[in-house]
Amino acid sequence: MSLPDWKPQPDNRIELPDACIDLWLIDLNPADFQFPSSNNTILAQNELERAGRFRFDKHRRQYVAGRRGLRQILAKYTGCQPADIQFEYGEHGKPSLVNQPVEARVEFNLSNTNDTALVAVAKGMEVGADIEYVGRKMWDIDSLAQTVFTDSEIEELGQYRPDDRLVPFLSGWTRKEAYLKGIGKGLALPLKDFSVRLKNEEDFPSISAPEWQLFSFWSDPDHISAIAYPERAVISTFRWFRLPATG
Ligand X SMILES: CC(C)(COP(=O)(O)OP(=O)(O)OC[C@H]1O[C@@H](n2cnc3c(N)ncnc32)[C@H](O)[C@@H]1OP(=O)(O)O)[C@@H](O)C(=O)NCCC(=O)NCCS
Residue closer to ligand X (CB basis): 21 or 180:
180
Q: Three-class SS of residue 68?
A: helix
**Contact between 130 and ligand X per CB under 6 A:** yes
- Does 149 bind ligand X (CB under 6 A)? Our answer is no
> Which has the closest alpha carbon to 212: 185, 175, 186, 238?
175
Please give the C-alpha separations between residue 29 and each of 35, 60, 108, in angstroms, as whole numbers.
Answer: 12, 11, 22
Choice between 59 and 199, CB closer to ligand X:
59
Nearest-5° Cα angle at 189, 184 to 190: 150
Task: By CB under 6 A, name the one of 61, 71, 175, 181 that touches ligand X.
Answer: 181
- 180 binds ligand X, rule: CB under 6 A: yes
Among 4, 36, 124, 186, binds ligand X (CB under 6 A): 186
Output 112 or 206, the one with its CB closest to ligand X: 112
**Contact region with ligand X (CB under 6 A), list: 107-115, 140-148, 156-164, 215-223:** 107-115
**237 or 246: whose CB is closer to ligand X?**
246
Q: What letter would DSSP give residue 207?
A: B
Nearer to ligand X, 95 or 124 (CB): 95
Say if residues 29 and 65 touch (Cβ distance below 8 Å). yes
Element (H, E) at 47: helix 45-53
Position 72 contacts ligand X (CB under 6 A): no
Type and span of the H or E element at 60: helix 57-78
Report the interface residues with ligand X, using CB under 6 A: 63, 66-67, 92-95, 109-112, 130, 177, 180-181, 184, 186-188
